[in-house]
Structure 1
Amino acid sequence: MDITNTYTVPDLVELFDSSPGKVRRMFEEQILAAVKIDGVLRVPKEFITDGVVVSSLRGTLIVLTDAGLSTEEAVDWLLTENDHLGDTPISLLRKGQKANVRSAALLLG
């Protein structure tokens, strides 16, 4: 993952005009996913559009974790070009193609 293309928790607090606790709750509820890079929780910027979390991200994260992927593996899968899909899963989610992405995610389980 590109370290320069992420948000930290303080960034998200500012972006969402929220608190650190509410941001962390978003991770717990799989609304967002974060990975630790150099000891700092980071969220890929691709997961957020115009200050709002990509709406189909939560359901997709749930499918991925149900398939046995860790948070780190799920984030990596979402950001990696998928031969079956012809693009990165997060790019397709941002375009509203959640059915294709979730079908591919189900194949992981």
Structure 2
Amino acid sequence: MTEPVTTGPAGWITLPDVSEKLDLPISKVHQLIRERALLAVRRDGIRVVPAELVANATVLKHLPGVLNLLHDAGYNDEEALRWLYEPDEGLGGNAAIALGGPLAREAKRRAQALGF
């Protein structure tokens, strides 16, 4: 049996671009990351956010709750990123996709189950 292939975000957004997209000061973007309302990881030495997590001019509604559940289950930011993008057809492709649609509550329930 082969390992499932983990897919990643369709694209990355730098923190200054997130600031512009959300129409927030960069300090507020840093605060969102500290408070686990937004996920940022380092790629090539630069902190970036998966593009799908910033829908239109807002952060996905259920993302902060899921990030806090994952943190409470012992996940660091890289592990949370892997969990969000792990292929899962039951969630419409992966949890990151599910958070933007009708399967958001199921993704949140699965994140909650990781703590037990």
Q: Which structure's relative contact order is higher, taking Cα pairs within 8 Å and 6+ residues apart?
A: 2
Shift of 1:13: 1.7
Q: Give 3-state SS (helix, strand or coil) of 1:68's partner.
A: coil
Partner SS, residue 99 of structure 2: helix
Candidates 46, 49, 59, aligned match of 2:65: 59
Out of 66, 80, 83, the position equivalent to 2:86 is 80
Looking at secondary structure, tell me which structure has more helix per residue: 1
Could you list the runs of 5+ residues in structure 2 that have no partner in the other structure? 1-7
Q: Could you tell me which of 9, 12, 16 is aligned with 2:15?
A: 9
Give the root-mean-square deviation of aligned CA atoms.
1.7
Aligned residues: 108
Under a length normalisation based on structure 2, what TM-score does the superposition of the two structures give?
A: 0.83
- Aligned-pair distance for 1:86? 5.3
- The answer to which of 18-27 and 78-87 deviates more is 78-87
CA distance in 2, matches of 1:10, 1:74: 22
For structure 1, which runs of at least 5 residues remain unmatched after alignment? none
| Identity rate, percent | 32
Report the more deviating stretch, 44-53 or 13-22. 13-22
Question: Deviation string for 1:51-107 (max 9, x for gaps)?
Answer: 211000000101111111001110121122126545200111111323211222233
Structure 1 segments, 4+ long, off by >4 Å, are none
How far apart are the structure 2 equivalents of 1:48 and 1:58? 12
TM-score (normalizing by structure 1): 0.87
Instruction: Give runs of aligned pairs for residues 1-109 of structure 1, distance below 5 A.
Output: 1-2=8-9, 5-82=11-88, 85=91, 87-109=93-115
